[in-house]
Structure 1
Amino acid sequence: MEFRDYVDTLRRRWIGITVFLVVGLAISGALAFLAVPTYQAASRVFVATQSAGSAIEAFQGGSYTQQRMQSYVEVASGPIVLDEVIAELDLDTTAEELSSSISARVVPDTVLIEIVVTDESPEEAADLANAVARSLRDVVVDELEEAVGGEGSLVNLTLVKRASVPSEPSSPVIPLYLGIGAIFGLALGLAFAFIRQALDTRLHSERDVRAVTDEPIVGGFVFDPTAAQAPLIIHSGPQSSRAEAFRTLRTNLQFIDFESDHRAYVVTSSLPSEGKTTTAVNLAIALAESGKRTLLIDADLRRPRVADYMAIEGGAGLSDVLINSATLEDVVQPWGESGNLWVLPAGAHPPNPSELLGSRSMMALLDLIRANFDQVIIDAPPLLPVTDGAILSKITDGALLVCAVGLVRAPQLRQALEQLQNIHANVLGLVINMLPTRGPDSYGTYGYEYVDKA
């Protein structure tokens, strides 16, 4: 992945990352709220060695003390000390259980031993810390060192800092809990985002489409939630940016096979609902507005939509002409004020659409139509569910493949293109539909220009 891929992933998946972050903070906050507060109290003991007063004896005494400091630390949390503490404070526990709440350490570069006690009661924490210090002093001076020295202990322990009752709990530390929760939540959110991105084969942008195919992109349209209610944007909103995008598509098509005076194009898609019919009807209107004699054919004999979009009678049409129950002149209907657009609806639903569209009658009809019209736009069924669109692409001048980002997946687009390539159909280019208007994949970050495939 490139750096831009990481940035795009973060921008696309930021909601999921935020959710994990918030959940992590919520869980850590709940744990901190439910945790039993504990308090810490600390006392300090000064360790000294008696000497006759000479420098050499003082040095030797200091070395003697340093050598034994760590041993005193270990003794502080042992049974020999804690049994006396339990007896003094009349505690209902054992030395082993009590040792888990007591820690001792040598203060660096000193002869001080710090005893820290953690307890749910601040008063008990202070009492325990002082009791352990007293017991350690008694055990070391009266038992351990006395037994070694034989004539009295050379080591003396003095309680130099009594433990005071803590006013605030030492745990839970709310900022620490929240920090850990935020880190874990963010880590899980990022892992989720990148795993989901790696597994997501859906196309989201022109960049994703270009990663799938080298076919030229001849048009792009932003997502319009009102497209289903007002599909004829060229007619209803001629000054809109979406209408201008269809005019740009018309202009780009003029550079394809520009020497031909009579062209027939199929508009299809990989899947249903990608906007192929909307593209076909608006492109036909745009071509007619430019002065081209244009015929729009609804060749989707399974789910025809053109008649409804154009608000014309669709009872008779292409299927009737192909079975010789009507002539072209009988069913073609003029549309609009330009005087250059005619519409051939789908007609009756036949039981064998693929056979009709691939028949000699269809090829003969296309020859007749080319002789009478400058431009022919054919709305064909999607490629993956049925073969109708591929058949029509083979017998016309080529296909425009509508690709709806956010809907079609990379394998589906590849499969649709392979269908056209396997029959040696001419792919004129791709029209990207439903581009987002905001975010890293927004239409505003792209410019669509015709790219010559040669």
Structure 2
Amino acid sequence: MTSAFFFSAIRRYWYLLIAGLMIGAFASVAVGSVVPKTYDATAQILLSAPKVTDPTDSSLYVRDRMPTYAEFIESESVLANARSLMGTDESTAFLASHIDARVEVSTVLITITASWSDPQGAADLANAVARSYAEVAPRLDNRDDPILRSDTVEAAVAPNADAGLSPMALMTIGSTAGLTAGLIAALLWRIYGPYARTIEDIGESADAEVLAVVSVPLGRGAHSADSPASRHSSPRKRGRAGGSFAALYSGAGLAGQGAGPRLVVVVSTVDGAHAATVGWGLAATSAASGQRCLLVAVDAAARTALESHAGWTPAAKPGNVPQLLTSDAFNTAEGGVTTVDGVNMLLRSAAGSKDLVVIAAPPLDADANTRAFVQIAGQTLLATPLRGSRRETLRTAAQLIGQAGASILGVVATIPDVSGPQAALPAEVGLESEPERIGAR
């Protein structure tokens, strides 16, 4: 995972980070408000052995036994006496769960920490245990001749604040956790999200280069300014290169082939309007450059989509228009589905080469006629919407093209043109690179 990929996920799915941060912050505050508060109070006791006359020996005697003396604090006899001193009905097991004893390092001091639901209760429990220990512990050490002595050196006082985290600390922890969760979600969605939302996603899914972004006119027909020849000479607008289907035609390696091979464009039934825009633009450019061209509509919907572009007659050679074959010309097999032999026969009847560039919108497996053309195609130019394409659909299309023995020449991403010829590429597209945008300008 590169840094570019990391920042791409953040830039594209920033709202997941914001949502995670806000949810984490609110959740932490909500949890903090419902979790019962506890209060901690501490008392400290000093242990000694006054019957051992040598002070050094006395200190060593007690220090060597400090772990054992600390365990005495949670003994049944000490806690039972503490319960009596405190005047509570709670069991000794309950008191044991609310007491913690810690031996201070290299000392003969034991710090007793008591937790309770209210400040005074915590202080009362800590002091009761300290007093009970002074009464009971010496007899536990040596019942017949007690040597141990316990003195309270610091009595517990009621705390001013609960032992939990402050609201600000809880919010900080929750916000950090939520932000981390949002970042992880953004990265996972960037990797495994079902939709290809940018040029980079489309290229990765189809395993091919995105050659251009095409604006698809909304509506039937076009005017002369939309012809390939006029778009070829369009000026730069807003710092972005003015584009043309001639540029795509050349960039796809179709130019400079003379009168042959014939360019055959197939428009599938899936998202036919977008594929038809790409198909007709390339076909018209091919015809204008002197190449004979054949357009194939695999069904009535594709025919309608192609015929909506009838006004795109090449200005350079008005009489040289692409030939359009409709489904009536080749749906001769049982069930109205053509075969590879049927495609070859169709091409021979058109007296042209069978070298193909297929314009198809995925999924290819949705239409058997398109698959038949792809099977004999040397190259395939795949058209797909820039927004809303499914990664799995693109992968499946690429696999079917490969299984048919063809190769993907490139991908053309399409976007609807909703604001007229002057529209710049929408910022919300989120391009990670900027292929030439062509189409309605």
Band of TM-score, shorter chain: 0.7 to 0.9
Q: Secondary structure at the match of 1:244?
A: coil
Checking the alignment, whether the CA contact within 8 Å between 1:268 and 1:401 is kept in structure 2 is no
Q: Deviations over 1:241-273 (max 9, x none)?
A: 5851534203324x4372422443234578722
CA distance in 2, matches of 1:12, 1:138: 69
Please give the residue correspondences for 1:68-83 in structure 2 after superposition, counting only pairs within 5 Å: 68-83=65-80
RMSD: 4.4
Checking the alignment, whether the CA contact within 8 Å between 2:283 and 2:322 is kept in structure 1 is no
Checking the alignment, whether the CA contact within 8 Å between 1:221 and 1:245 is kept in structure 2 is no
CA distance in 1, matches of 2:360, 2:205: 23
Q: What's 2:422 paired with?
A: none
Q: What's 1:330 paired with?
A: none
Out of 402, 409, 418, the residue aligned to residue 383 of structure 2 is 402
Checking the alignment, whether the CA contact within 8 Å between 1:38 and 1:172 is kept in structure 2 is no
Q: Secondary structure at the match of 2:263?
A: strand
CA distance in 2, matches of 1:395, 1:46: 95
Please give the residue correspondences for 1:310-321 in structure 2 after superposition, counting only pairs within 5 Å: 310=309
Checking the alignment, whether the CA contact within 8 Å between 1:403 and 1:430 is kept in structure 2 is no
CA drift of 1:34 comes to 0.5
CA drift of 1:89 comes to 2.7
Q: What's 2:114 paired with?
A: 117
CA distance in 2, matches of 1:416, 1:269: 14
> Which amino acid in 2 is paired with 1:108?
V
More displaced, 380-389 or 154-163?
A: 380-389
Q: What's 2:418 paired with?
A: none
More displaced, 79-88 or 32-41?
A: 79-88
More displaced, 344-353 or 95-104?
A: 344-353
CA drift of 1:18 comes to 4.6
CA drift of 1:45 comes to 1.4
Q: What's 2:163 paired with?
A: 170
CA distance in 1, matches of 2:105, 2:270: 75
> Any stretches of 5+ residues in structure 2 without a counterpart?
416-424, 437-441
Checking the alignment, whether the CA contact within 8 Å between 1:284 and 1:295 is kept in structure 2 is yes
Please give the residue correspondences for 1:21-420 in structure 2 after superposition, counting only pairs within 5 Å: 21-50=21-50, 57-141=54-138, 143-144=139-140, 147-149=143-145, 153-175=146-168, 177-178=170-171, 181-182=174-175, 184-185=177-178, 188-189=181-182, 192-193=185-186, 196=189, 199-200=192-193, 203=196, 217=209, 219-221=211-213, 227-229=217-219, 235=226, 238-239=234-235, 244=243, 246-253=245-252, 255-256=253-254, 258-268=256-266, 272-273=270-271, 275-284=274-283, 286=285, 292=290, 297=295, 299-303=297-301, 304-306=303-305, 309-310=308-309, 335=313, 338-340=316-318, 342=321, 352=332, 354-355=337-338, 358=343, 360=345, 363-367=348-352, 383-392=364-373, 399-405=380-386, 407-409=388-390, 412-413=393-394, 415-417=396-398, 419-420=400-401
CA drift of 1:115 comes to 1.2
CA drift of 1:118 comes to 0.8
Q: Deviations over 1:266-321 (max 9, x none)?
A: 34578722721111233345557x66577674524331234563366xxxxxxxxx
CA drift of 1:406 comes to 5.2
Q: Deviations over 1:186-238 (max 9, x none)?
A: 565555555555545654555556556776x472216x5x7435886961885
> Which amino acid in 2 is paired with 1:302?
A
**Cα distance change on mapping 1:133 and 1:378 into 2, 3 Å:** closer
Checking the alignment, whether the CA contact within 8 Å between 1:302 and 1:349 is kept in structure 2 is no
Q: What's 1:452 paired with?
A: none
Identity of paired residues, percent? Answer: 20
Q: Deviations over 1:381-431 (max 9, x none)?
A: 863222333445677885432244555556644554565556656x57113
Q: Secondary structure at the match of 2:218?
A: coil
> Which amino acid in 1 is paired with 2:382?
L
Q: Secondary structure at the match of 2:256?
A: coil
> Which amino acid in 2 is paired with 1:36?
P
CA distance in 2, matches of 1:163, 1:310: 89
CA drift of 1:84 comes to 2.2
More displaced, 268-277 or 39-48?
A: 268-277
Q: What's 1:429 paired with?
A: 409
CA drift of 1:93 comes to 1.4
CA distance in 1, matches of 2:263, 2:393: 22
CA distance in 2, matches of 1:246, 1:298: 19
Q: Secondary structure at the match of 1:137?
A: helix
CA distance in 1, matches of 2:249, 2:116: 80
CA distance in 2, matches of 1:246, 1:447: 13
**Cα distance change on mapping 1:3 and 1:163 into 2, 3 Å:** same
Q: What's 2:439 paired with?
A: none
> Any stretches of 5+ residues in structure 1 without a counterpart?
313-333, 371-375, 449-454
TM-score (norm 2): 0.72
CA distance in 2, matches of 1:338, 1:123: 96
Checking the alignment, whether the CA contact within 8 Å between 2:47 and 2:62 is kept in structure 1 is yes
Checking the alignment, whether the CA contact within 8 Å between 2:263 and 2:293 is kept in structure 1 is no
**Cα distance change on mapping 1:174 and 1:366 into 2, 3 Å:** farther
CA distance in 2, matches of 1:396, 1:71: 87
**Cα distance change on mapping 1:378 and 1:178 into 2, 3 Å:** closer
More displaced, 384-393 or 120-129?
A: 384-393
Q: Secondary structure at the match of 2:365?
A: coil
CA drift of 1:82 comes to 2.2
Q: Deviations over 1:358-387 (max 9, x none)?
A: 3746533354xx9xxxxx998778632223
